[in-house]
Structure 1
Amino acid sequence: MINFDFEALRRIGLTPVIANQLYTLTPQTTGSHHVARITEVHRDTVNVHDGKTAFNTRILPRLLLDKDSSDSGLAVGDWVLTESMQHDDYWVTDRMLPITHLTRRSNDGRRQALASNIDTALLVMGLDADFNLRRMERYLALTHAAGVAAVIVLTKADVSSDTATRVAEVEQRLSASVPVIAVNGQSTDAASALAQWMAAGQTLILLGSSGAGKSTLTNTLASSQQQTGGVRASDGRGQHTTTARSLHLCPGGACIIDTPGLRSLQLDVDEAALSASFEDIEALAELCQFRNCSHQSEPGCAVRETVDADRLHNYQKLLREARRHQQSPLDKIADRAKWKVMMRSVKERDRQKRG
């Protein structure tokens, strides 16, 4: 038997689409099950919220195996079924399929789950040494591939002397369909500026580098007490005060997932998804003289003549990364062999020139 209070769960993001999955689930055990949402993920337990109460639960071994071995494992924002066992122990017994799921590639190439069931991603970038348009393009590609709407939030507007210039720079370079908002993360005005994306039942995630002001903004929007820290004076980077992803409830009924700063963001997107996130380049490519134009040195390249050179360079770099991730192990071996042959050829030519 599955028990759930839709009205109570709706305030933490439950939608009719997700709730309909309950009618197709067959619980693995015969006890009484309750619907809850994951707010934090730990090694072998998760914190969940059932719309009324937050509590810690253990994970059934088969789900724990999925969590450790698959990009589709349990993540903050997932909806699950919990069951109360003996001695008041709670267990996660089933997981509902997420509507949206954010993943990235780890340094060893494996997929890593970030969060699930996100409506809007607030891409946070500070108006200080954190300002980096190439990195912002990575985050846009990540959210676009997952089907998540994005809003660029430029923080620390209270200490920036050229906020208007920076906003114009972002708007000129990036897609016009992505809103750009400059805020002081410590001011209640930030909540007003973002109000249209924070309706009851909406789920937002904050993505950005360490020190961008994500936890400060979370505290303002959710009236929470996340620990915050300053940035290093030497390079303006954060010191990773936030160490785990966590979901917070806002007074107006929205949910916000705060995340640690990502030291590196390797995209888990294919070539088609990446191209779609650089829609201006894709549109101009139709006007190039050659259909297979690489936008590097070919004559009659409409992209190279129009698009910002740094944006084009970043697109080509991300495209190479996407193609590498799509390669099979045999393709990677063949590529390494090809480069070894080329390097030996170069060394041989150098040796012959030196006599």
Structure 2
Amino acid sequence: MQDFDDDAFLSIGLTRPIRQLLNTLRFDDTTRLVRVTEVNRHTVRLHDGTDDYSARLLPALVHELQAAGDALAVGDWGLARQEPDGACWLTDFLARSNALSRRDADGRRHVLVSNVDTALIVMGLDDDFSPRRLERFLALADASGVQPVVVLSKADLCADVPAALARLEGRLPDRVPRLALDGRSPAAAAQALAPWLLPGRTLVLIGSSGAGKSTLANALIGQAVQDTGPTRQHDGRGRHTTTSRSLHRLCGGACLIDTPGVRALRPDADAATLAASFGDIARLSLQCRFRDCRHAGEPGCAVRAAVDGDRVDNFLKLQRELRRDALGLLDRRQQLAQWKARARASRERLRSKRGA
């Protein structure tokens, strides 16, 4: 196995748990440990702690990933081989310590980033402020085992920051740190996030478009490496100025992954994760009059009596999505056929009433 420059590899996020997994890689004299910093259609950007370069995936690795229904993600670790002609190939990759994943409308899993320590959930204190969306991002982080930190950006645009923070009481668990800052100030951002910007740590910025992720990334990196753009005045939403995920090294020794904004988020979660993200609902449900209470208006529902209605509705919606994601392809098709049949029957009943 190659000799490691601890400081160099620490600067790209090589932590002790990941280092303990290195014996699973097939090292030889021609390969070198690297981290994936960007994934493009035909190439990837890699960093070996000293240099940054472009590479292609070895066909055998492509086939291995396709057979597993997987794809390379920013944050992955692997091995790169430099050919005499200058070509560089990614030949192998390391099993992930964790991964942030979401589901698409068909229930398929997509890995967003991997091997991260902290998820900075960014939301602007403007017209796009939504506790319901924060709860979804929290479920995404909890499902991966990554520590979530809520970062309320654009504090300079908010007339009453304490009131905005107060809106999150009862919506987010006490274990989740939350802070408000002006992402345009490098000093203020670095100071506020100092507990998580430790050498060797990897952080990821997640949030909707226009939340201020790229502005915060530029502040932490110390230069304008990510494009930023204006938000719409009527709802605070922004355009996708960041179009791909990318990993950057910070001056203090941490790594930061910036990601494109997402509008529709379906966390890749399970029942246990959902219960952790909505711990108050899980605890109160034990006090409901009926053991099979669905918290949908049943008498004696302890959840509806004590928890914000919007939070309960968000929990129930995530539950429905979770159950649908657990269905197989054939089951989903049968469910869709039933919904269509019910819709047709409903339309027929309406026509009959109008005709009568």
- Pairwise TM-score range, normalised by the shorter structure: over 0.9
Stretches of structure 2 lacking an aligned partner (at least 5 in a row):
none
1:132-166 Cα offsets, whole Å, 9 max, x none, are 11111110001101101100000011121111100
* Matches of 2:37 and 2:344, distance apart in 1: 53
Partner of 2:299: 299
1:270 paired to 2:270: yes
Stretches of structure 1 lacking an aligned partner (at least 5 in a row):
none
Shift of 1:72: 3.7
Shift of 1:222: 1.7
Distance 1:344 1:184, change over 3 A: closer
2:184 maps to which of 178, 183, 186: 186
1:125 paired to 2:123: yes
1:110 maps to which of 88, 92, 108: 108
Helix, strand or coil for the counterpart of 2:253?
Answer: coil
1:161-216 Cα offsets, whole Å, 9 max, x none, are 11110011113321111111000101111111110011100000000111111111
Assess if the C-alpha contact under 8 Å between 2:135 and 2:171 holds in 1.
Answer: no
* Matches of 1:35 and 1:20, distance apart in 2: 13
Assess if the C-alpha contact under 8 Å between 1:211 and 1:231 holds in 2.
Answer: yes
Shift of 1:337: 3.8
Assess if the C-alpha contact under 8 Å between 1:3 and 1:34 holds in 2.
Answer: no
Partner of 1:222: 221
Moved more, 124-133 or 66-75: 66-75
Helix, strand or coil for the counterpart of 1:170?
Answer: coil
**TM (normalized to structure 2)?**
0.93
Distance 1:341 1:72, change over 3 A: closer
Assess if the C-alpha contact under 8 Å between 1:3 and 1:33 holds in 2.
Answer: no
Q: Which residue type is aligned with residue 270 of structure 1?
A: D
Partner of 1:9: 9
Partner of 2:87: 89
* Matches of 1:156 and 1:347, distance apart in 2: 47
Partner of 1:211: 210
Assess if the C-alpha contact under 8 Å between 2:125 and 2:158 holds in 1.
Answer: yes
Q: Which residue type is aligned with residue 11 of structure 2?
A: R
Distance 1:336 1:106, change over 3 A: closer
Shift of 1:273: 2.1
* Matches of 1:272 and 1:229, distance apart in 2: 38
Shift of 1:69: 7.2
Q: Percent of aligned pairs with the same residue?
A: 50
Assess if the C-alpha contact under 8 Å between 1:71 and 1:111 holds in 2.
Answer: no
1:216-263 Cα offsets, whole Å, 9 max, x none, are 111111213222222123432112111111111111101000111113
Distance 1:68 1:229, change over 3 A: farther
Shift of 1:316: 0.7
* Matches of 1:292 and 1:86, distance apart in 2: 66
Shift of 1:323: 0.9
Partner of 1:239: 239
Q: CA RMSD in A?
A: 1.9
Shift of 1:67: 5.3
Assess if the C-alpha contact under 8 Å between 2:143 and 2:267 holds in 1.
Answer: no
Assess if the C-alpha contact under 8 Å between 2:46 and 2:55 holds in 1.
Answer: yes
1:145 paired to 2:143: yes
* Matches of 1:270 and 1:113, distance apart in 2: 16
Shift of 1:332: 1.8
Assess if the C-alpha contact under 8 Å between 1:229 and 1:239 holds in 2.
Answer: yes
Helix, strand or coil for the counterpart of 2:156?
Answer: coil
Moved more, 169-178 or 120-129: 169-178
Distance 1:156 1:97, change over 3 A: same
Helix, strand or coil for the counterpart of 1:267?
Answer: coil
Shift of 1:329: 2.1
Counting only pairs closer than 5 Å after superposition, residues 146-185 of structure 1 correspond to structure 2 as: 146-185=144-183
Helix, strand or coil for the counterpart of 1:112?
Answer: strand
